[in-house]
Amino acid sequence: MLKLSKKADYALMALQHIASVQPGDVTPGRVVNTKEIAEEYNIPLELLAKVLQTLSKNGMIESHNGPKGGYLLARSARHITIAQILESIEGPLGLTDCSHERSGELCMQREHCNIRTPLLKIQDSIYQLLNNMTLQDMLSGTPLITIQSPSAEGVTR
C-alpha cells in the first residue's frame, strides 16, 4: 500500500547517483551514462533507459548523445524536489481520483462524498512533505522532517 513503483525507485536512485558526481552547483561535472548506473545498482538496462528518457523529457536531466555521452542534472540538486521527480515518472500524485478531475468526468460518489475534504487535506500534507525535500537533502542525509498534529494533543492513544 502506498508503495511507489519500481520505475520511481529507479528514477530516485539514478538521480541520486548523477547528483553525487556533480561536485558543485554550477560545475558541469562529468556525464554519466545509462550502463554505468544500471551496473552499479543492478537495474535492468532497458528499463532504466526508459526512465531516464522520461526524466529528460520532463526537464529533470539533460541528455548528451553520441560516444562519451550521458546524462547530467538539468539544474541544481537543491532545486529538484522529490515531488517533481515522482510526478515526472508517474502522473500527478494524489490520493483520490477526484483530486485532479477534469470537467466531464466525475465520480459516482461525488454527490454524497463524505471523505473528499479530509482526504484532500491529507494529500496536501503529503505533497508539502515531498515538495519540501530536495535531491540535495537526500545527498546530505539530513532530511529531518517533522510532523506536528494538533489533534494528537490531549488524546490518549
Partner DNA sequence: TTAAGTGCGACCGATACGATCGGAGATCAT
Partner DNA sequence: ATGATCTCCGATCGTATCGGTCGCACTTAA
Under the rule (CB under 7 A), what is the footprint of DNA?
5-8, 33-35, 44, 46-47, 49-50, 52-53, 56-57, 63-71, 90
d(CA 103, CA 15): 35
Residue 74 vs 130, nearer CB to DNA: 74
Residues that bind a second copy (CB under 8 A): 1-5, 8-9, 12-13, 16-17, 20, 40-43, 78-79, 81-82, 86-87, 89-97, 108-109, 111-115, 117-119, 121-122, 125-126, 128-130, 132-134, 137-138, 141-152, 155, 157
22: CB partners within 8 A, 6+ apart: 29, 72, 73, 77
Look at residue 92 and give its three-state secondary structure. Answer: coil
**Angle at alpha carbon of residue 91, lines to 87 and 96, rounded to 5°:** 105
User: In angstroms, what is the minimal distance from the CB of 97 to DNA?
Assistant: 10
For DNA, the closer CB: 62 or 137: 62
Comparing CB distances to DNA, the nearer of 70 and 134 is 70
113 binds, among a second copy, DNA, none (CB under 5 to 8 A by kind): a second copy
Closest CB 44 distance from a second copy, rounded Å: 10
Q: Residue 42 — left, alpha, or beta (φ > 0 → left; ψ -120 to 50 → alpha)?
A: left
Phi, psi of 143 (to 5 degrees): -65, -50
Grid coordinates representing 156 are: 490518549
